[in-house]
Amino acid sequence: MNPEDTPQQELRNAAAVPTEKQEDSSITPRKTFAGGIPAVLASLQHSLQEMGPLRSMQTWLHLNQTNGFDCPGCAWPDPQEDRSRFEFCENGIKAISEEATTKRVTPEFFQTHSVQELSLLSDYEIGKLGRITHPMWLPAGENHYQAVTWEKAFQIIAAELAALPHPNKAVFYTSGRTSNEAAFLYQLFVRVFGCNNLPDCSNMCHESSGSALSETVGVGKGTVLLEDFYHADAIFIFGQNPGTNHPRMMTALQLAKKKGCKIVAVNPLPEAGLLRFEHPQQPLSPLTGGTPLADLMLQVRINGDIALLKGILKAMLQMEDQKPGSVINHSFIQQYTIGWEALEADIRAAEWQQIVQESGLERNLIEQAAEIAASAQNVIYCWAMGLTQHKNAVGTIQMVVNLALSRGHLGKTGAGLCPVRGHSNVQGDRTMGIWEKMGDTFMQKLEQEFNVSLPREHGYDTVQAIQAMHASPGHVFLAMGGNFLSAAPDTQFTAKALQQCRLTAHISTKLNRAHLVTGTQALILPCLGRTEKDMQAGKEQFVTVEDSMSMVHTSRGTLQPASEFLKSEPAIVCGIAAALPQTAEKISWQDLAKDYNRIREHIANVVPGFENFNQRLLAPQGFHLPNSAALLKFNTPSGKALFTVHPIAQLQLQKGELLLMTLRSHDQYNTTIYGLEDRYRGIHNGRRVILLNAEDIASQQLQPGQWVDITSHFEGETRVARCFKVVEYSIPRSCAAAYYPETNVLVPVRSVAEKSNTPTSKSVVITLSPAPVSSAEK
């Protein structure tokens, strides 16, 4: 036992990571297409197992429909026209099957299962237990959760918050599933309470995108609409796996291809969803082999994207030199940008030898990408977490912006910047004020709307919150959704931070590991899911979300709640706020909980772009939020878009070291594990695998199928994840890939992206060693 452990932690002895042991996994050749009949069969299997046939059909027909509910999975937008009655994908079906499952976790279950016992299960096994039916309380010194009334649960939270020496000793986390209405209330409550400690899941994924775009084009969001994909001449996709993470994107790519669009895919792995798509709802698609997607597949080295982007720009400048005015859009640059001269000088000075070496790509492939970019009049540039989770992530994304600006690919149909965000309302939560450093204009409007005085000192982001809780015992931690422990970096460090809290409380639908590694006492507050009816004061309510392309629309649950004891997220926030005297006296929280139209009226008065909010929601498709950069109006100090200069990242590894990126399997969404199949990559019945280049396997004197331990190295520190099976895979030399959350234990909490402070989960320096027999045994 660690000498710093407290008595209740010794009693509970909950495991921050599941038992590390060998799995009966098998490996088959990777797939070269996504979708098709296998996607249909997988959807049916998950849906029928969790919901049964009638409930499945009822749920399917309302998913992503104007009179139904928004998918709780990814944030890909819905078509504005010609929406299918089956407007969903395989992983969307998995997401609603997890939420709408008929399995239940009752108080009786907790009576017979201790938190220590449950923590030994895998994240997959924990997630499959079912929906939580009652508010649950883990008192100090106890090892079993017990049922508690909502009134008492709110009183416990209020008492712990009131007892803090300062509001900054509280941390309020938010998951991207949270609705606009709940997010607005949550940030309001936190700020009235007296702090800005509002870390969220975006801090761990697309924070780098917001930082990069805000600085260069003046807005932290993408500039395109879904319809732009149908008018693009070329689409560049960086560090993204649409087949697994945003499957409906493949439909947009398919339509673009049929109109002659060229696609360039940039990714260390040749993901099936980048290569070919067989549309599951088009019967002839599997028979004809589907639609080829990527015209050019560039398997860049991990974090070799800046080198590649400099190579593309260098090749374009060489074309421009041969035929002046044919490639670089000088009129656009002169009218709308600053900084071109410095960038041009930097690109011309770059050496092809370094570009090729650090990108891992042959020069002729880079020049092919440049030809596509130079010949296309309208180009969309997409990226995801393959770019956002490196030390130089902000610079990498700004190099993508440089490429777009050099061609004038902003402010017109079929062109623009497209950070493809993950969770279904992560962008909306930020719009609603879930951010530790909201601007003064927002804060002033919030104060005026509610006649309150709010703190201006910036709060903690996710990494800062973990460090604060670890360094100073006695915090209160409240999470609105999510699985904080499994999502965060440096799992053991984060676990220690949570264990030092006086209270950890989670607003959740299902059990997860963060409920098991707790503070002195803990609460689970079970909430309605996106699929369920929300009745308040006898009236049915709806909520709203904002997708990855700034479309705002309604979401109405249709299923009966999993339990009569569930509350909605807005009702829970209002219940906590009303129980705490210092917040209760300032706002009529219960009136807001009774009618969400009242919440939206306040949003309309505070948040730009939401004027006449309730009235605009009468439009079935919702409405689009304005984006100044898409209109070539740049909210930067100069009033123009900014070119920026960034050095090529040099991969400096010692002998035997590799660079690891963490990723999802196909049976996974964020930390939710749907199953143990990653059929696109040919990995079955297991997750403890590490993908390696064949030459690296040989140079490390390993064999495919061998079990190894992984050790990460950062500034003299080491962290270990045990028992991973070696899988030979198509991946660049000196690179490796493995699934999270199993490998989050390797990500140092202090290894973060410059400016955005995002954990560097895609740039982890590791070594491998054969697993001892004891750790490789079942």
User: pLDDT tens across 309-368, in order?
Assistant: 999 999 999 999 999 999 999 999 999 999 999 999 999 999 999 999 999 999 999 999
Instruction: List pLDDT tens digits, range 689-739.
Output: 999 999 999 999 999 999 999 999 999 999 999 999 999 999 999 999 999
Of the candidates 287, 238, 231, the residue with the CA atom closest to the CA atom of residue 255: 231
Give pLDDT, residue 5: 40
Q: CA-CA distance, 289 to 540, in Å (whole number)?
A: 46
Instruction: List pLDDT tens digits, range 682-698.
Output: 999 999 999 999 999 99
Q: Strand pairing of 379-383 and 534-536?
A: unpaired
340-349 and 305-322 helices, crossing angle to 10°: 100
CA angle, residues 262, 268, 270, in degrees to nearest 5: 60
pLDDT above 60 for 7 = no
pLDDT band at 3; cut points 50, 70, 90: very low
pLDDT band at 6; cut points 50, 70, 90: very low
What are the structure tokens assigned to 514, written together? 């963060």
The DSSP element (H or E) to which 278 belongs, if any, is: strand 276-278
Give pLDDT, residue 774: 56
- Strands in 170-174's sheet, in edge-to-edge order, are 146-147, 136-138, 521-526, 503-508, 476-480, 170-174
CB of 436 closer than 8 Å to CB of 198: yes
CB of 514 closer than 8 Å to CB of 8: no
Q: Global pTM?
A: 0.96
CB of 507 closer than 8 Å to CB of 569: yes
Judged on CB neighbours under 10 Å (0-12, 13-18, 19+), 504 is buried
What are the structure tokens assigned to 503, written together? 């209270």
Instruction: List pLDDT tens digits, range 586-626.
Output: 999 999 999 999 999 999 999 999 999 999 999 988 999 99
